[in-house]
Every structure is written in structure tokens, then in C-alpha cells.
Structure 1
Amino acid sequence: MKGIVLKMLSVYVALNYRQVKREYRYFLRDNYFNRLYQVRYLLRDYFIKKHYKVIDYQGEFQNEITHVLPFAYWHYLNGTLEKTISCKGTNELYFFSPDHEERYAERRWDFTYNNYNFPNINHSIKKTFKKWIAPPLKEQYKNTLFVFDKPILIIANKYNIEWNQEPTNFLDIPTLDRIINLNKHKYQIIYNRPLPNHIVQDNSEILDLNEYPWLQRAHPEVILLNDLFTKFKSKVNSFNHLQLMVYANCDRFVSVHGGTAALASYFGGKNIILSNGGLESVFDEYTNYFPRLSNALILHAKTPDDVFSYLSEEF
């Protein structure tokens, strides 16, 4: 039956989404199948409404916070969430869960393949929000600990293998230098690029950009999130916990493609996302999906020049 339904959906997608390249259409097909898969839970979700749902996820971080976390929060509000299971360092993300288990020490990039338990887990032009409510991370973690004389501007960077190739989406040192020089007079800049020992990794190997020694030498006024983690280790449970607390006090972000951009989109304000390539652009998700995480203004920059244009116009 599953094979027949998938074939029928493939025909439907081919007829109705001719503008989408063939190699991307299976994302649309699987997204529709994910929705149909939820029919089996109709009685338990809308009529019986007892605690039954166990949400078990080991996939990539971006999919977790954009798709799985809102799915879990919907079940919590619906009164049907029993337990959540995820990777190390995720307890604070699932602050609402009645029973959260940090089971996995690594993430699997292929976890979502042929996994139809989560609505919207696949990239798509159109998504359903019937079982999707983004948890209020900003409200939950806003605090008086990370408050400074000037408003915060977070630069959320990464430097890792992308799509089994060399790094594509990242802020290099010359770009960082220009961003800092243009904005340090009005913002307290906090720089964040998690190191391998801070987060649970998948197949996207984290490389060394060598920017940390340069930042300490050239821009000592910039606060490094890694330094905050060392300083406040007794007050936070994990690096992710620290990120949530610092991000919750911020309304201005410059981030890059991937989970880095998705997390920064959870805290309102304005988020400039440097993203050159990726299915988020193909399916226009920076316009029709990311803003729903917190009603943030998402500014999609395809080049560093776009980043500076947005900084000048919006920051």
C-alpha cells in the first residue's frame, strides 16, 4: 500500500509542480506522504487525547529545531505528549517535555530518509502547520545574567563540510573584521562558532577557521561564547543551554546556512542569514517557513555584500 500511495503522489507532484526540478520532486512527494501518515493518529490526537506520543529523533540539528521541536510542542499543548528522546545537550530545547531522554551521542544525517513520523520533515514549497507550534524559547530563557551596556549583536558562524564538499556558507576573517568594525560602536558583539566538543556532530565535519586567536588579538571587545561557557559552566547544563540563554537576550543576529541560522531565527528581532545554495533557497523556506519560528524578520543574503547591505539598512 505504501508503495502505491508514493507512486500516486509522485504523479501528482509531477503534474502540479513542473517548475520544480525532477531531482527535487521527491521531497514534495514525501512531504505529502508525511501528512497522510498522520491520519492513523486521528482518533488519539483529536478525540481520545491521552498521553501516548513518544517522539524519538537522532537526525540533523536544523530539522530537529525547525520540524521536530514544534511537533513535540504541539503534542505537549494538545495533551498527548508522553516522552521525547534526542541527542546529548537537548534537554533545555525540550523544556516542556514531561520526560526527556538524552540518548544519542551522535547525529545521523540519513535519519529522516524513509522516516514518515514527522510532518514537514522534508523540504517543500507548501507545508502543513496543523501539528506545528514553535515553542517560546525566547520567553523561556530570557534572563538578567547576560545583559550588557549595549544591545547584543550575535554573529553565529560555522565552518564545516557541507554536502560532502568544502565549506561553502561561512563568514571568513575579512568579512568578520568588517562586520565588527561597522557595528561595535552600537552593539555588544558576541561571536559564536561551536567547537566539536561543544555539540553533537553528524557527518558534517567541523574544521578550524583559525579566527579565535585573531579575534582575541584584533577585537578583544568581542565576547566569545566559548569564553562565556567556561566562565558560566556552573550555571548552565550544556553549551546549548548557554546558547539559549544568550540568544534569548538578543534581537539582532548575523548567521549562516543550516542549524546555526535556524536557531537564530527562534528569538524574534532580525536575522541576516548568509546562504548560498541549499534546498532552503530552492523551496523559498527563508520566506515561507523560517519567519514562523518567532515572527523574526529573516533577511536572506546570498553573498557577503548582501550581508552588508542588510546591516546598513536594518541594523
Structure 2
Amino acid sequence: MRSDLRYFIRDNYYCRLNQVKYLFKDYFVKKQYKVVDYHGEFDQELRYILPFAYWHHVNGTLEKTISCKNTKEFYFFSKNHEEKYTERVWQAGYNYYEVPNMTHSNTFDYSKWLRVPLKKQYTNSIFVYDKPILIIANKYNIEWDKPPVNYLDIPTLDKLISSLKGKYQIIYNRPLAQQIVGDNSETLDLNEHDWIRKTHPDVLLMSDLYQQHSSQVNNYNHLQLMVYANCNRFISMHGGTAAFASYFEGINIILSDPIGGMEHHFNEYETIFPQLSGAKILHARNREEVLQHVFTHY
């Protein structure tokens, strides 16, 4: 392992070692005591925090969960969930050793980590169409303090939609800045929503569904959970978008350019991402590979 990556593994092993002090409470006393409090990156919350909290729920040791605004639906199993934070702070994930896994690693500890059954919990009869759903979960924001890298531009979207709309009911999802809790990654404007409405009117936009079903959902995250739960085909982008889509089984094509992010170095698209639900993960390193995976598997 490269020397500049070893500290990730060091931190993850320290997280596991730190769990020794809870051995008696977790396996012998087994009373409700654990307070899971987190407001860092959405990706880390989905990969590490949520499965850890769910394990404590099943184990009978979960007392309370604390997270950001509009996260109650993710923690549906928690009888005492507080939406305390209005903003995500990426630094909150550093030096946070209260869960067995907290950062990138070549191996993960699943002894206090359980799949969260979001698909089973939110499968519904509302978002059902004549054709099976395919979700394109795009993003367009600053990454690693640099211009956007992992996103589908309009020409690529046009190729995807044109080739898939005959077989699938495509739902396009790129949340607007006001619809989700922000972090350090500034959301930019790709100007694709109006283009999709005009060029591909049979494609449903998640933001439009939110307006149409506002009386049936509690917030934008609740809508996403309900729509994703009814879907088995996803195209998603590096980060929280990819982790979220990996929670719902089926196949998830993830665009993740090796230019940034540590998932590549630690082979995480073959370890923890499939573990989230048993989904088949297909890693695309560029837009051309996204198209290749789509034409082969969809």
C-alpha cells in the first residue's frame, strides 16, 4: 500500500480497537445506551453510520440517533431520532472513532454492521409505472475543491435517455441545493432540467415528482427513498449518490473517475458497496464506460 494511503487503514483499525471498551455493554449487559451522533458527509453516513446504528437497534442497545435535517426516514428504526444539524461538515468524519469503520480501507469490520432494509421498508404502490423504473442519479458540484468531475453532461444524457426510454420509465434525479442538506461541495447549475422537459418529456424529474406528491411525502429524502425502493436499475455518481443507489439491490452503474476519491485504491466498489444491499456494482471510470455498461447490462 502506498505510504500516503496507510493512515486510512491505521484509522480504521483504531476504530475497531476502540470498540473493545464497549464489549461488556454490547454483548453482556445489552441495555439501551448507544447514542449515534453524526453530521459529516452523507457518503460516510450511509456506508458506516447507518448500518452501525441499525446493528445497535437489532442488538437492543440503541438509545438515540442524531443527524441532520430530513434524515428521520433513513433512521426509521430509531424510536428516538433528533434532526439536530442544518448543515453537513465534512471534517466531522475525521478523528471520529466511535464506529468500527469510518474511512477508506482495504478491509472492513462487519461485526457491528448490518444491512439497513430501506428497500423493504419503503417499497410502495404509488410509484409504479407501465415500464420498470430506471433512475439516473446525476450530480454537478465542486469536488475536492475543483470543478465537477463525476457527472453526466447533456450529450451523454441524450444518448442514455434515447437508448433506454423505450424499455424503462426513466426518472432523473439531481437534487437542487435547497432540497437537501448541503456540505462543503457547492452545487452548480447544469441547466439540464429544462432541456429534459423539452427534449425528453416522457422522462420524469424527481424535482417534479416532489411537487406532485408533496402531500404524500415528508421531505425530499422521503420521496427518494420511496422511488428508489421501487427500482432495480440505477446509474449514479461517485460519493453519496452512489452509496445511496447501492442500498436498493438490482444493478448500480457508478461513474467514478480515478482522478479523485480513494475508493479505487482500496477496491471498495467490490467490497463495501455491494455489501450495502447485495447490489451488483459496475464501476465506470468515464462516461464512455457508463455507456458500455448500459448497453451490455440494461
Cα deviation for residue 140 of structure 1 reads: 0.2
Paired position in structure 2 for 1:99: 80
Does 1:55 find its partner at 2:31?
Answer: no
**Could you tell me how far apart the structure 1 residues matched to 2:16 and 2:181 are?**
29
**Could you tell me how far apart the structure 1 residues matched to 2:145 and 2:208 are?**
30
Cα deviation for residue 22 of structure 1 reads: 1.5
Does 1:206 find its partner at 2:190?
Answer: no
Report 1:78-227 matches (<5 A): 78-227=59-208
**Could you tell me how far apart the structure 2 residues matched to 1:309 and 1:160 are?**
24
**Match 2:226 to one of 234, 240, 245:** 245
Paired position in structure 1 for 2:247: 266
Which residue type is aligned with residue 252 of structure 2? N
Segments of 5+ residues of structure 1 without an aligned counterpart are 1-19
Paired position in structure 1 for 2:296: 313
**What is the SS of the residue equivalent to 2:181?**
coil
Paired position in structure 2 for 1:281: 264
Paired position in structure 2 for 1:231: 212
Paired position in structure 2 for 1:12: none
Paired position in structure 2 for 1:15: none
1:145-197 alpha-carbon deviations (Å, 9 max, x no partner): 00000000000000000001110100000000000001000000000001111
**Could you tell me how far apart the structure 1 residues matched to 2:267 and 2:220 are?**
30
**Could you tell me how far apart the structure 2 residues matched to 1:249 and 1:146 are?**
7
Paired position in structure 1 for 2:235: 254
**Could you tell me how far apart the structure 1 residues matched to 2:154 and 2:46 are?**
28
Which residue type is aligned with residue 59 of structure 1? G
Report 1:281-300 matches (<5 A): 281-300=264-283
Cα deviation for residue 255 of structure 1 reads: 0.5
The structure whose Rg is larger is: 1
**What is the SS of the residue equivalent to 1:282?**
coil
1:212-265 alpha-carbon deviations (Å, 9 max, x no partner): 111111111100000000111111111000000000000000011010010000
Cα deviation for residue 281 of structure 1 reads: 1.0
Paired position in structure 1 for 2:7: 26
Which residue type is aligned with residue 307 of structure 1? V
1:53-84 alpha-carbon deviations (Å, 9 max, x no partner): 00000100010011000000000000000000
**TM-score, with length taken from structure 2:** 0.99
**Could you tell me how far apart the structure 2 residues matched to 1:289 and 1:76 are?**
21
Does 1:38 find its partner at 2:19?
Answer: yes
**Could you tell me how far apart the structure 2 residues matched to 1:134 and 1:306 are?**
29
The RMSD of aligned alpha carbons is: 0.6
**Could you tell me how far apart the structure 2 residues matched to 1:122 and 1:223 are?**
35
**What is the SS of the residue equivalent to 1:110?**
helix
Segments of 5+ residues of structure 2 without an aligned counterpart are none
1:30-63 alpha-carbon deviations (Å, 9 max, x no partner): 0000000000000000000000000000100010
**Could you tell me how far apart the structure 2 residues matched to 1:183 and 1:54 are?**
45
Paired position in structure 2 for 1:6: none
**Could you tell me how far apart the structure 2 residues matched to 1:170 and 1:283 are?**
22
Paired position in structure 2 for 1:9: none
Which residue type is aligned with residue 35 of structure 1? R
**Match 2:287 to one of 284, 295, 304:** 304
* Structure 1 moving runs of 4+ over 6 Å: none
**Could you tell me how far apart the structure 2 residues matched to 1:218 and 1:56 are?**
44
